[in-house]
Structures are given as structure tokens and as C-alpha cells.
Chains A and B, each alone.
Chain A
Amino acid sequence: MSISVETSAIPSAPIIRPKTSKDDRTMIAFMLVIGLYLIIALALPLYAMLSKSFSTYSFDLSNFEFQVDKGEGWSEPITALALNENLNVVKPEELKTSSDGRLGVTAFFPDFNFRSPTKYRLRQIRLDSSFLVGSKRVADTEWHEYESNQFRRIVLRPSSATGLENFRTYFSTPALFRSIENSLFIAVLSTIITVSLAFGFAYALNRSKMRFKGVFRLIAMAPILVPSLLPGIALVYLFGNQGMIKGMLFGESIYGPIGIVIGSVFFTFPHALIIITTALAISDSRLYEAAISLRASRWRTFWTVTIPGARYGLISAAFVVFNLVITDFGLPKVIGGQYNMLAVDIYKQVIGQQNFEMGAVVSVVLLIPALFAFSIDRYVQKRQVAVLTAQSVPFEAKPHKQFDLICLCYCLLVGIFIVGLIGVCQYAALIKFWPYQLSLSLVNYNFDVMDGGGWASYTNSIQLGIYTAIAGTILVFSGAYVVEKTNGFFATRSAFQFLAMMPMAIPGLVLGLAYIFFFNDPANPLNGLYATMGILVICTVTHFYTVSHLTALTALKQMDREFEAVASSLKQPFYRLVSGVTIPVCLPAILDISIYLFVNAMTTVSAVIFLYSPDTALAAIAVLNMDDAGDVAPAAAMGMMIFYTNVVARLIHLLISRKVLRRTQAWRSRESVAD
């Protein structure tokens, strides 16, 4: 035989360096481009923010030297430090400042008079700070000479250093670090309530034969379509100082923990419900049959089969809700009153006090629980995978009159809560002047006469939604495709995957603040994006990247792993496969991603609050600003506009889906022929 079976002592064969195909190179190029996007839109801004939180600014008095000429020639140079040691005009704690800090020089010269003929010289010894003459910056180490009239306009600028000083300040300011406790308390409490309520609701939907399930499903999803601060406005109308049913709180104030928790439950409810419903839906009917055959009671079956089966879903839902509540900013802003929470602190530090460093510090503090919740959730999701096997039989509920009635009543109560809050908002929007003029009118829709951006903000929001949906879907799907289908390049793909998962752990407010630090830096070539619609789109796409990415990935994973191999064996470029097979087959997921991005772009406040400009004000932000300005009814009206827009968008999505799917998914619905 001419074959040889060689087993030992063979000289080693040549190492093969695989030639890459054109497709491989294109895919890698794609991955690098999208990876670069994620680095620019996510990693670098976060890095800028992190380094900002460690940047401290202080006036280095030893760095400035003065000479004075009172008509008798120039005195010996003397540092500001030496002057201050004698005069003690600047207290040590006043030396600490922010990046914006300014210190007038005349303080060091008690006899200073801007009319005197005295002349002054000033120089820096080292290059690490600067001083301003009016608004002109001087940063060299030369001596500069000034008349006293000029001299009074000189301010010293701080030098920067890196250290933990900001964190020290944070933790020694009770007003600030109390927020940690508050945030954790609200988040935990809201989580417990939401998950319990959602579990009951999901249980009723999955395990009973009650009527109107479809209606309840729709109602339960409604909160996703409104900004998180809308329930806050509704609660103000119900329980506020002039609330409709204020008495029901027995004197407690809605402004504070009570309001935040009720509102949080409202806006996180659908998120928890989706996860728990999925967890309950994948339960295996055979386990219940086994329980019945073992004569286990309903109660025992519940605790030994239902709960363990849904436990990963429950844990996952808990962490998602926790994360949503602790990072939400709109709701506590509207209804929190004096009750401080971390997310609001960031806003107050940045917008109120212009203390960007402290804003960065609070952001870092807020990142910790968010990252923690995120990692736990990812871990749990991974464990969930193998629960359902091919042999599992889906659970089919049996009618049970009494149980079904209880379920119906329960869902009715939850439904009233949700519809009620939205209804109150709509009512409030239509009332002329609560509580004095109860006639109906459209006066509150006259947004153009209010603060907040007027009707333009509404059209801006729709623009943002459409741009985000289109750009985001293309970006996310391409990214998911290359990371899923590229061969080799394991390290690159893992890095990409990591970047794609990160946005979920980053609160919107933190991302927005990070964007200020990164894009508003004059040294950044992308600085031109600042205050444009572009940066809003980038921020929104990035903020909602992870969920979209996971949706795309799930759809792609259901595709046969060998399609690419077959196409290349048939000498077909990958884009023919993508356009002819991958995209048509994944179209449902692609449409889901685009509507997800649109709806979220319409409702998000936190991601964009730091980034909008007068020209790019957004509807959800208008809600916040009008509420802030006391125009609560117009705020409610705008909130409802967002709601209706999202409802319409969903309906259009539904129509397109039906139509497109009928055309492209014909192969799905046909019955398969048996062997």
C-alpha cells in the first residue's frame, strides 16, 4: 500500500500560517471599526471620568512670585506663600478648589489700591499652573509687569494633582454620603415590592386560565413607554400638597421615599415582568405531573417546583430592578423632595454647583453597586441556560374557578395602579389650572411658551429616536455578526464582547457625565460633536447597546453555525450570505432592536441630561425642566405626548413586522412534512 502510518520519530512538519480570505479581512476590519466606536463612545469617556474623579485642584502659592515697585525700584521677589504666611488671608482649606477655582492676587497686598501708581511684577516659577489677566491666560515662567489697575484683574489658577482627596471630601461630607444609604434603601425596598408584584402577575398570566390575559399583558408593558419621571408627576397630582387623594397618606408626605418607591415600582414593573414571565414559561410540565402523582399539595408544589424553577429569573429580575432604581435620576428629581439619592447628587454637583470632580466621584460611587448588580445578573443568566431540555413539555394551565378569580382580581388591582397613574397624567394635562380651574383645555400643550424647549424638543426627540433606531440597529447588528461569526481572533472578539456588555453596567447619568469630560475637552479632535444631535445619538446608542447586542446575538446564535462555511465552500462572499439569508432570517430580531432603541431614545433622561444644547432639547428633558420650573401640567402633557408617540411607534412596528414577516418568513409557518 502506498499509505504510510507514521507514528514516531518524524521530523516536524512545516508550521502553517493560514492565509486570511478577503472575507476574513473585511470582517476583522468591521470588528475593529465597531470596536473603535465602543472605545471612543464608552471606554475613553469612562476613563476620562475616572481620572477626573482623582484629579484634585489646589492653589500652589509657592509657585507664584511677586515684585512690587512703589516708585523706589523693584523689591526683592517674594512668593505668594511667603506673603500669606505673614498675612494669613487665604485659609488652608480655601486652597483646595475645583478645576474652575480662581484666587485674586490683590488679597496678598492689603494696601492695594487700583488707583495707586504702584507697579507689580508676577511670574510663575514652574509651568504647572497659570494665572489669568482678565480672561487672558498666562502660563509661561517669564516676569510680567502690570499697572495696579491691571493687577486687580489678575487671578491665580490652581494646579492639578492626582489623589484620593476628592473621595476623602466626599466621605467626610455627611450630606453626600448619606445618599449611599438612601439609594440602597430605596433600591432594595423597590426591588422587593416590584419583584413580588411582578411575580404574582406573571404567575397569574402563566398559571391561570383567567380572562383578559392579552389586555393585562399590554397594560403591564405600558410603563416602558413613558419616562421614569412621569409616575412622579402623577403622584404629585394624587398625593402632593394639593393632591386629589392626599388624605390617603395620613399626613405622610409623598415627596420623599414613599413617592420614589411607588414611582420606581411603576416604571420597573414591566422589566421585572418580562424576565419572570420568561422564567415561568420555560418550566417543564412533567415536573408538575410528577408532583401531582406524588400527591404533593398545591402549596408544596409551589415551593418545591415553581420557585426553584423560576429562581434564576427571580434573581435576575431583582438585580435588573435594583440597577434601574439606583441609577434612575428623573423620578427622585421630581418627587424626591429633600431626600438625596446618588443619581440626583451627580446632577446637583454638576448642574447646580458646577463641581465636575465631585460629580465624577459620586459617579464612581454609583458605579460600584451598578457593576455589582450587573455581574451578579450576568452570572445568573449564564446558569439559566440549560434549564429547558428538548424533552421538556410546556406547562398548560387547567381551569380552576376560585384560583382564576383571585388571579383576575390581583391583575385588575395592578392594572388599575398602572392605568391609573398614566390616566392621572393625561387628566392633569387637560385640566386648565389644578385645582382651581377644572375645565378642560389644551392650554398646557402650548409648550412653546414654557421653559424646556417647546414643541421643538418634541420633534428633536422623534429625530433622536429615528436616528438612534437606524444607526444603532446597523451598528449593533453588524457588531454582533462579526463577533459571532468571525473565525479565530479570540482575544479581539473577547475584548469586543466585553465592551459590548459594559454599557449595561454604566448608569446613563454617569455615561453622560463621562461624555462631558471626554468630548468637551478642547484637545479632543471630536470636540466638534459636543452639543450636537450627533453626540445625543452616540450616547443613546451606547447607553442601550447591551440589550440590543444580546438580542442580535441570540438571533444569530440560532442560525446554523455552518452557513458561513457552506457559503465559502461555494465561493460566495459573506455579504451575499448576510443579505440573502442572515438578515432575512434575523429580521424579527432586527425590528425588535430598532423599536427598543426608538422607545428608549424617546424616554431616556439620564443619558442625555448633560449633553443637550438649546438647539437639541428633548421631550423627556422638557418634562423634567417644565416640572422643575413649576409647570407641572405641561410637563404631564409632554410626558403623555411621549407615551402616545411610543404607542404609535409600537403599532407601526407591529404592522411592519406583520407585513415584512409574511413576506420573508414564509418558510417558518409552513408545516414540516414528516419522513
Chain B
Amino acid sequence: MSEQQAVNTENAKPYLQIDRLTKKFGDFIALDQVSLDVFEGEFIFFLGPSGCGKTTFLRALAGLDIQTSGTVRQAGIDISALPPSERDFGIVFQSYALFPNLTSERNIAFGLENQKFSKADVAKRVSELLELVGLPEQGKKYPAQLSGGQQQRIALARALATSPGLLLLDEPLSALDAKVRTHLRHEMKALQRRLGVTTVMVTHDQEEALAMADRIVVMNQGVIEQIGTPTEIYRDPSTLFVADFIGEMNQFKGKAGSKNTVTIGDVTFASQEHDMQQHTPVIVAIRPEDIVPHGEGASSQRATESGSTTENIFDATVENMEFLGSFWRVSLNTTFIGDSQMVVDMSINAVRHMDVAIGHSITVEFQSDRLRVFPADTHTV
């Protein structure tokens, strides 16, 4: 999906050029030599667990907590040392930071007043913006009289009022309840697309990032783990951290085999290609939807006596089943690869057809092209 949506990064000129950004708080390194180009009109997400440095990164871009070293260029101009008031950006915080004693209108107008605009121009712009965020009727209300979602949209309108070249969003949806959040995701995405403003959004919610982003920057412990479109990040996580952080991932300890095999316990599986030395300890990872159920048990014969299964097929016992609405998440236990646990996502139909129930045995297959191998020493979540 996002391949088509993504801005064509090959020809576009970078709007933000971030070069080896480092931010230290005393001895603590919050950002470690982070480099990134953001393209004009792009909707880019900083995603990571709390404390990964994503907010520090955003605040450095805003000039609110300027980096210790490294440069930021915006539209070709070096803004590395500039205070926020001399940079060109609008910002929405998680708290929205709406001025409580000013009406929605006056909140939006705050950045327009005291500038070169006439009163009439300001009023016109304010009503345009209210229209834009879909709240034309709420101009006279105080923030406390608005719902969370409405407040968020007023904050967005205020940030956009001065037509900034860069929009910074610091977890703008995380204070809302689930339903409003999903609704606003679409609205914000559409709005961003319509205005074409380069947007950087910070979130810890991977679903949000996968659903809205042109590109995602996955961060961990102050460094960038991976940059890519949502599909790239999900399908081809380049590190174990990304694999583990985005979506569900089954993990097994193993040893590298030849360039496309891997050994878990005593059993050798066909896997994606890897460049690990033979016998080095590895983590083997596969997503729940990439484990394919083949039917009721009794296929363990397919594994040869020598302990390898070129077909990656083996038996496991159903330990638990969790109904997640559109599919079942089935926990399996198998002694085949050394008493391991894994979860498999199965469609409702598959569960019915194969008569999957707790205590039953089923045959499953690790799809070899989805079985990923990571060095064992990388950090996990």
C-alpha cells in the first residue's frame, strides 16, 4: 500500500538534512550520531520505545533542546544553532498546549496577531483553518469545552496558521481514546497529503506509524535501527530489534548453518539467506502469520532421523488459543526443536477446518523465505 503513497525519494531534493546529530545529557547519550534526510512533502515517523531518543530528536529539530553536535539543514539553510523563534516550523504536543484562557479562534490567531496581517485577514485565515480541521462551529469555545479530539485539531490548526514549512507532531494522538485515534489518523493523513507540508511525527504506536507514514525511522537507544517504508520495515526488518518491536515475532535460539540454513535445537531449517559464519549463535525469527498450518498432527515422520527438515514442517501441540476477532492467535508448544513456544495466526476458517483445539496436535510449516536469521548478540526489547 505505502509504496504508491510514498514520495518518490529518488528524484526529490531533501528538505531536511540531518547530519550526525548527537545529544548528550551529562554522561547520558540520548542521540548518537543520527543522520537522516527528509524529503519535501514527506510524512515521516520517528518510532521507538520510550526513552529511545525520538522525542529528543524532534526537540532538536525544533531547536527546543539543541543538539550537542551535528548539523541540521532546512531547505538548504543551516539551522543547527538557531533558537526555535528563528526556525520555520509548527508544532503540536501530546498535551496540545492550548492556551486555556483563549477561545479556539484566539488560540489559532495567536501566531497571526502582532504580525503584518490586518484584523480582517486574521479572521479570514482563522475561519479557513477551522474549516480545514473540520471544526467551523467551535471557534468561540474554550479548550476546556472541547473534546480531546477537537482540542487536538485546534492545536493542529494553530500550528498550521503561519503556514510553516515543517510540521512537527509529538505524539499528538496518544492522549485520545482508541476510536477517536483511529478516526483522526485518517483525517490527519489526508490533511497532510492535501497541504503537502513536510511532517515529522513522533510516536511509540507502531500501528499508527504503519498506517500513516510515508517512511518510518525506527529508533532504539539513541540510534536509528532502520529507515524504510512501512512495508519494508514490517517485511524486512534489518535488525532483531526492529523485527521484535514491529508486530509479533517468534524467536528461537539457534546456530547458523550454510548460507540459507539454520539449526534450531538439533533440527536444520531452510531459511532466508544470511551471511553468518557457520555455527555462530543466532536468533531465528518468524512472524505468526508466516507459520503455515497444514492440518492435524502426525506429520512428524517427515522430519528425517538425521534431524533436518528441508520442508520446514513439523508437529506441535496447541497450548492456548486467543480469539482476536478476525483471526485466532494460537500458542503452540513443540518438543521437536527443543521444547519451544511459538504463536501462529490462523484464520477462523483454518481453525474450523483443521479442528484446532487446545491439546490437539497440528502440523505447521516455517515458510523458508520468511524465516529470518539475526546475530544472537544484538539487543532485544
Contact = CB atoms under 8 A, between A and B. Distances in A.
Pair from one complex? yes
Contacts of A567: 110
B350 interface: no
Contact of B142 (A12, A563, A666): A666
Contact of A667 (B142, B180, B223): B142
B19 interface: yes
Given A19-B83, A581-B101, A569 B37 contact: no
A19 B81 contact: yes
Contact of A566 (B33, B93, B115): B93
A580 B69 contact: no
A180 to B, nearest CB: 44
B85 A17 contact: no
Interface stretch (A20-28, A268-276, A335-343, A525-533): A20-28
A15 B68 contact: yes
Interface stretch (B45-53, B155-163, B259-267, B317-325): B155-163
A398 interface: no
B70 interface: yes
Contacts of B332: none
B182 to A, nearest CB: 13
A127 interface: no
Interface residues on A, range: 35 or more
Given A569-B159, A570-B110, A672 B145 contact: yes
A390 interface: no
Interface string B28-51: 000001011100000000000000
A169 B114 CA distance: 67
A10 interface: yes
Given A3-B37, A6-B20, A664-B101, A569 B69 contact: no
Contacts of A13: 19-22, 33, 69-71
A561 to B, nearest CB: 8
Contacts of B212: none
A419 B324 CA distance: 70
B30 to A, nearest CB: 14
A18 B67 CA distance: 8
A45 to B, nearest CB: 36
A449 interface: no
A19 B86 CA distance: 10
Contacts of A572: 110-111, 114
B165 interface: no
B100 A585 contact: yes
Interface residues of B, number: 64
Contact of A560 (B9, B10, B97): B97
Contacts of B20: 6, 10, 12-13
A673 B38 CA distance: 39
A665 B101 contact: yes
B91 interface: yes
B101 A667 contact: yes
A13 B21 CA distance: 8
B146 A16 contact: no
A18 B70 contact: no
Contacts of B137: none
Contacts of A17: 81
Contacts of A3: 9, 35-37, 227
A14 interface: yes
Nearest to B14: A2
A581 B161 CA distance: 19
Contacts of B33: 6-7, 10, 13
A292 interface: no
Interface string B207-226: 00000000000000001101
Contact of A15 (B69, B99, B164, B180): B69
Given A16-B69, A560-B95, A675-B180, A1 B9 contact: yes
A175 interface: no
Contacts of A569: 62, 84-85, 87, 89-91, 111, 159, 164
Report whether over half of chain A's contact residues are helix, strand or loop; otherwise say mixed.
loop
Interface in A1-55: 1-7, 10, 12-24
Contacts of A487: 64-65
Contact of A565 (B21, B67, B91, B226): B91
Interface in B70-84: 70-71, 80-84
Contact of A2 (B37, B82, B87, B110): B37
A389 to B, nearest CB: 18
Contacts, number: 154
B204 to A, nearest CB: 18
A16 B145 contact: no
Contacts of B224: 5
A339 to B, nearest CB: 54
A385 interface: no
A14 B227 contact: no
A672 B148 CA distance: 10
Nearest to B33: A10
Contacts of B87: 569
B149 interface: yes
Contacts of B102: 580-581
A562 B99 CA distance: 10
Contact of A671 (B36, B93, B145, B158): B145
B62 A565 contact: yes
Interface string B3-22: 00000011000100001111
Interface in B82-122: 82-87, 89-91, 93, 95, 97, 99-102, 110-111, 114-115
A134 to B, nearest CB: 65
B147 interface: yes
B144 interface: yes
A668 B144 CA distance: 7
A636 to B, nearest CB: 46
Interface string B277-306: 000000000000000000000000000000
Nearest to A583: B101
B99 A581 contact: yes
Contact of A16 (B64, B67, B84, B158): B67
Contact of A18 (B14, B35, B81, B91): B81
Contacts of A666: 142
Contacts of B80: 14, 16
A568 B114 contact: no
A584 B99 CA distance: 11
Contacts of B65: 487
A574 to B, nearest CB: 9
A670 interface: yes
A560 B146 CA distance: 17
A571 B69 contact: no
Nearest to B10: A2
Contact of B226 (A5, A23, A568): A5
Contact of B147 (A24, A563, A665, A674): A674
Contacts of B70: 13-14, 16
B172 to A, nearest CB: 12
Contacts of A18: 63, 66, 81, 83
A4 B35 contact: yes
B27 interface: no
30 contacts: A1-B9, A3-B9, A3-B227, A7-B33, A12-B69, A14-B80, A16-B66, A16-B68, A16-B71, A16-B80, A18-B66, A19-B81, A21-B83, A23-B83, A487-B64, A560-B97, A561-B97, A562-B97, A569-B85, A570-B90, A570-B111, A584-B101, A667-B100, A667-B101, A667-B143, A667-B145, A670-B144, A673-B147, A675-B176, A675-B177
Given A570-B162, A580-B102, A667-B144, 6 more contacts: A5-B35, A16-B80, A580-B99, A665-B101, A671-B145, A672-B146
**Closest 4 A/B residue pairs (Cβ):** A570-B111, A21-B83, A13-B20, A667-B142
Interface of B: 9-10, 14, 19-22, 33, 35-37, 62-71, 80-87, 89-91, 93, 95, 97, 99-102, 110-111, 114-115, 142-149, 158-159, 161-162, 164, 176-177, 180, 223-224, 226-228
Interface of A: 1-7, 10, 12-24, 487, 560-563, 565-572, 576, 580-581, 584-585, 664-668, 670-675
